[in-house]
Amino acid sequence: MKNHRIRVAGLALVAALLGTSPVLSQDYAESHLAAARATIAAAHASEQFDQILPVLADQAKALFQRSNPSLVQEIDAVVNQIALELAKRRPELDRELERVWAARFTEDELKEITAFYSSAVGMKFGQNMPLVIQDSIRSASIWRDALSTELVTKSREELIKRGHQF
């Protein structure tokens, strides 16, 4: 569940960035976009978005099934059919991601990044980065929760010392 929330939050952030970035309105040379495409592929940077449509389909199914539980099979069939039709639109996202990368990196920088991700250490980095991010988020959450508890406990103690009740 926590991973799902992290994924949804990340997807929402990407959607917000795609919709609001002024640099995306710029035109880029096809070679620049091709370099971005190669970098994205080498870095496996778009794979995390492969779950957008399946997650949305599951949410739509749950929504309709709550309203009419007797139609589970028909709802599944309809939502799956529509999701498959919408899957054809994935290239739209890929083109937007290419523009995002092209906006942030020069063509030469993209080629260097691709070279890195094509190296042994770059491949290992690409494979492990999602896990490193997940573990980092988990560590930050644990740290945040510990700080929150300590902040509330010490503040309560100090306020009680000053004659207040909590």
Q: Are residues 74 and 24 in the same domain?
A: yes
By residue range, what is the domain housing residue 37?
2-118
Q: Are residues 74 and 135 in the same domain?
A: no
Amino acid 130: pLDDT: 87
Tens of pLDDT, residues 37-93: 999 999 999 988 999 999 999 999 999 999 999 999 999 999 999 999 999 999 999
Q: Are residues 21 and 94 in the same domain?
A: yes
Tens of pLDDT, residues 67-83: 999 999 999 999 999 99
Query: What is the number of structural domains in the chain?
Result: 2
Long-range residue pairs from 101-109, CB within 8 A, at least 24 positions apart, any chain? 101/36, 101/39, 101/40, 101/45, 102/28, 102/32, 102/33, 102/35, 102/36, 103/21, 103/23, 103/24, 103/26, 103/28, 104/23, 105/36, 105/39, 106/32, 107/29, 107/31, 107/32, 107/35
Q: Are residues 69 and 140 in the same domain?
A: no
Q: Are residues 11 and 83 in the same domain?
A: yes
Tell me what percent of the residues of the chain surpass a pLDDT of 70. 85
Q: Are residues 106 and 141 in the same domain?
A: no
